[in-house]
Amino acid sequence: MKAMLQVLTLALQGETFALEARYVREILDVVPITEVPGAPHFLNGLINVRGKVVPLLDLCRKIGLQSSPPTIDSRIIVVEVEIAGSTTIVGVRADRVYEMAELAADALEEAPQIGMRVRSAFVRCIGKRGGDFLIVLDLQAIFADIAASAPASRAA
């Protein structure tokens, strides 16, 4: 039996993307955001998730798409990823969340090096489902890039 890849499908700027389900903890309606002065352009700010302070990533900006204001369909996807060797909870905003889906191993292909609006380093693979393509984002690569570009912590 071939392995299946479980994903959460979502929309960003009219395109269908997917995140590996193993990273997804919960999906929330848009909540109030506390802005952080001097934060990188792809960080919307901080949100409260069940009493915890969680950074909110503007996934569109980080992967090179135009960002847009939230709508009634926007959702925050709370994910758990490794950043600099530490498990971290982060929120990412999606224009719309569709569903959980399974993609067969033979329906997955490498991302082409040209013709993509998204940096290929941030794409795990392209999934085929019916007549549609899903761009499966590589959250570990996205967050590794953020950690690598973060300024060093200030000494106390």
Domain ranges of the chain: 4-149
Q: Does domain 4-149 have CATH number 2.40.50.180?
A: yes
Q: Give the pLDDT confidence score for residue 156 in this predicted structure.
A: 39
Q: Are 22 and 102 in contact, with CB atoms under 8 Å apart? A: no
Q: Give the pLDDT confidence score for residue 21 in this predicted structure.
A: 96
Global pTM reads 0.88
Q: Give the pLDDT confidence score for residue 115 in this predicted structure.
A: 66
Q: Give the pLDDT confidence score for residue 148 in this predicted structure.
A: 67
Q: Which helix (H) or strand (E) holds 36?
A: none
Written as six digits, the tokens of 138 are: 């590589």
Q: Give the pLDDT confidence score for residue 2 in this predicted structure.
A: 60
Q: Which residues of the chain have pLDDT under 50?
A: 1, 153-156
Phi, psi of 58 (to 5 degrees): -85, 95
- What is the rounded CA–CA span in Å between residue 89 and residue 156? 25
